[in-house]
Chain A
Amino acid sequence: MGNIRKSYGSNITTLGSTNDKIVLLEGDLADSTMSDLFEAKFPDRHFQIGIAEQNMVGIAAGLALEGKIPFVNSFAAFIAMRACEQVRTDIAYPNLNVKLVVSHAGLSAGSAGPSHHSIEDIGIMRSIPNMTVLCPGDEEEMKQVLEASIAIDGPVYIRMSAMDCPNIYTSKNKFNIGKATILREGSDITLVSTGTMMNEAMQVSDLLDKQHGISSEVLQMASIKPFDIDSISHSIRRTGKIVTIEEHNIIGGLGSAVSEVVAEIGTGKIIRIGINDHFTDTVGTPEFLLEHEFLTTNAILKKVLKFLET
């Protein structure tokens, strides 16, 4: 098992040693976002802003205007929502080189409850012009996402789960902004995942093959924006059926992005698997909440099989 935040902590520290423009801003959550490694190594380029996310994003804008590359760390909910207008008007509108690296995405804050969950952020960030939106699914993909985000000059939102997750991506997989990663080729159905749902998609694909003799294509879309329209349309033209799997509201996220493509090319059928537009009404660990929301391998497999019957 790996952890995306751990990957962030160590890789941002490595990148910090070769690029002294990188500065890190943090809002009294370094132990949760795991950015404390950077603080220990580069105390002069680390700023503790306290519990003041709007101020933190505004400060990042100022630093970027002066040529620094600010990395802003907090929980997804507090950047995408609490500081949303600062993100949109102070970062995205002037197209500034600020990287927003947020943790506890989706339901991964678990029993912290809905105030700390973030099931809306992809939708919010995706609709902001100039914003690049990336949702890596494991440690290696996070590493590559991080490197790619530094290579572009502009605002990037990087969404991290807080949960431990199996490592699927290898150095042979190549992440590119605006490109899908084709994890498996297949012909009967397309499974599209983002973030850590990459693991569920692969497991569902395995079971489809082993238990039902169904061949599925698996596309991991860590790059939510820009979106790889070509890969999606190419795949759906061959399989005719597409399933989106995400730890996010089915409104506004990956499901919406793929639906837009399907509608525009005018071919194929789609179902969206995610959170059905409600705040969680129970309490529990992230694993428990995912089960409650039918976002486990078995629950997803059931939906996919039902979809295949239509």
Chain B
Amino acid sequence: MREFERLENITKEARYLIIKTLIDSGMGHPGGSLSSVEILTALFFKIMNINPEDPGLNDRDRFIMSKGHGCLGLSTILNLRGFLSDKELASFRKNGGSLSAHVDMKKMPGVDMSTGSLGHGLSVGVGRALSAKINKQNHKVYVLMGDGETQEGSIWEAAMSAAHYNLDNLVGIVDRNKVQQCGNTEEIMSLEPYFDKWTAFNWDVKEIDGHDINQVVSALSQDNQESKPKLILCNTVKGKGVSFMEGDNKWHGGGAIKEFAKEAMQEVKLESK
């Protein structure tokens, strides 16, 4: 129970920091950042073998943020976990700063690929996982994707190759918030039957509530089925935690935040602050 509270508190801090950083920079992607909070918290604070003091550790678990526009959310988690300083986080999207709207692994220790163009990350994860097999290393490779992102054909090429090479050291996670930039996924380009698609590609698929930290931790803790890549389909809500952002594609990008700063802050503020 205490462990649950510890992780829950981190998710609250992350949501607060996401909104604070967004207000400060005036730009960012709040929707997909807020929907990934539990997933990133579980990975960075519970599941992955990583060390902020030694981010290049050879046997560390690898993490690829294939939905690179989730950089705002990922940056706050990296900050809370000690990979990024407060100063670096405060420079998000600012002139002369180090963090842009999309993930740059050279500026973000703790991340294993630069991303931003959608649909690339899973292939890179397959390459990293293949290398671990050659080297007989035991670490895992985690790749977080957006659901809209998986409209890219390259995702399915990667999925095919991961199953072909029996990559049971690869874990794909889909932030299934059902909303992309211009609307709902099922209206833009339908993905359903989604669970069945991944299953048909020969992945071991688990479907969970992506905002229930216990479910996320438990799904991530279980080993892959032998010789299969694992896909964790996380049902989430875009903009989770800020009521007027929830499920609304207008909050995919955060351009309107100036106008709604007070209301947003009200919803994520921490008792301690």
Q: Which A residues form the contact surface with B (CB < 8 A)?
A: 28-32, 48-52, 54-55, 77-78, 82, 111-116, 282-285, 288
Selected A-B contacts with CB under 8 Å, 10 pairs: A28-B151, A51-B152, A51-B180, A52-B189, A111-B27, A111-B93, A112-B102, A115-B114, A115-B115, A284-B94
With A28-B180, A113-B104, A115-B68 known as contacts, the answer to whether A51 contacts B97 (CB < 8 A) is: no
Point out the residues of chain B lying under 8 angstroms from A112, CB to CB: 100-102, 116
Please provide the 6 A-B residue pairs with the shortest distance between their CB atoms, ordered closest to farther.
A115-B116, A50-B189, A113-B100, A284-B95, A50-B151, A111-B93
Q: Which B residues form the contact surface with A (CB < 8 A)?
A: 27, 68, 91, 93-102, 104, 114-119, 148-149, 151-153, 180-182, 187-189
Q: Bound complex: CA of A211 vs CA of B177, how far in Å?
A: 58
A78 touches B117 (CB 8 A): yes
A31 touches B182 (CB 8 A): yes
A52 touches B95 (CB 8 A): no
B117 touches A77 (CB 8 A): yes
A116 touches B116 (CB 8 A): yes
Point out the residues of chain B lying under 8 angstroms from A283, CB to CB: 91, 93-100
Does more than half of chain B's interface fall in helix, strand or loop, or is it mixed? loop
Q: Bound complex: CA of A27 vs CA of B27, how far in Å?
A: 22
Q: Bound complex: CA of A112 vs CA of B114, how far in Å?
A: 13
A30 touches B182 (CB 8 A): yes
Q: Bound complex: CA of A231 vs CA of B102, how far in Å?
A: 42
Q: Bound complex: CA of A257 vs CA of B180, how far in Å?
A: 39
B101 touches A51 (CB 8 A): no
Name which of B27, B93, B99 has the most chain A CB atoms within 10 A of its CB: B93
Q: Which single member of A54, A116, A282, A288 contacts B153 (CB below 8 Å)?
A: A54
| Closest CB in chain B relative to A28 CB, distance in Å | 5
Point out the residues of chain A lying under 8 angstroms from B93, CB to CB: 111, 283
Point out the residues of chain A lying under 8 angstroms from B180, CB to CB: 28, 50-51
A284 touches B96 (CB 8 A): yes
Q: Bound complex: CA of A77 vs CA of B116, how far in Å?
A: 11
Point out the residues of chain B lying under 8 angstroms from A30, CB to CB: 182
| Closest CB in chain B relative to A80 CB, distance in Å | 12
- Kindly report which residue of chain A lies nearest to residue B185, judged by CB atoms: A50
Q: Which single member of A31, A52, A115, A288 contacts B117 (CB below 8 Å)?
A: A115
B181 touches A29 (CB 8 A): yes
- Kindly report which residue of chain B lies nearest to residue A75, judged by CB atoms: B117
B153 touches A285 (CB 8 A): no
Point out the residues of chain B lying under 8 angstroms from A32, CB to CB: 181
A288 touches B96 (CB 8 A): yes
A285 touches B95 (CB 8 A): yes
Q: Bound complex: CA of A282 vs CA of B95, how far in Å?
A: 8
| Closest CB in chain A relative to B33 CB, distance in Å | 15
Point out the residues of chain A lying under 8 angstroms from B189, CB to CB: 28, 48-52
Point out the residues of chain A lying under 8 angstroms from B182, CB to CB: 28-31, 48
| Closest CB in chain B relative to A241 CB, distance in Å | 34
B96 touches A55 (CB 8 A): no
A82 touches B117 (CB 8 A): yes
B102 touches A31 (CB 8 A): no
B152 touches A52 (CB 8 A): yes
Q: Bound complex: CA of A77 vs CA of B23, how far in Å?
A: 28
- Kindly report which residue of chain B lies nearest to residue A49, judged by CB atoms: B189
| Closest CB in chain A relative to B87 CB, distance in Å | 14
| Closest CB in chain B relative to A163 CB, distance in Å | 15
Q: Bound complex: CA of A35 vs CA of B181, how far in Å?
A: 14
| Closest CB in chain A relative to B223 CB, distance in Å | 32
Point out the residues of chain B lying under 8 angstroms from A51, CB to CB: 118-119, 148-149, 151-152, 180, 189
B116 touches A288 (CB 8 A): no
A113 touches B188 (CB 8 A): no
| Closest CB in chain B relative to A35 CB, distance in Å | 11
Q: Bound complex: CA of A242 vs CA of B94, how far in Å?
A: 36
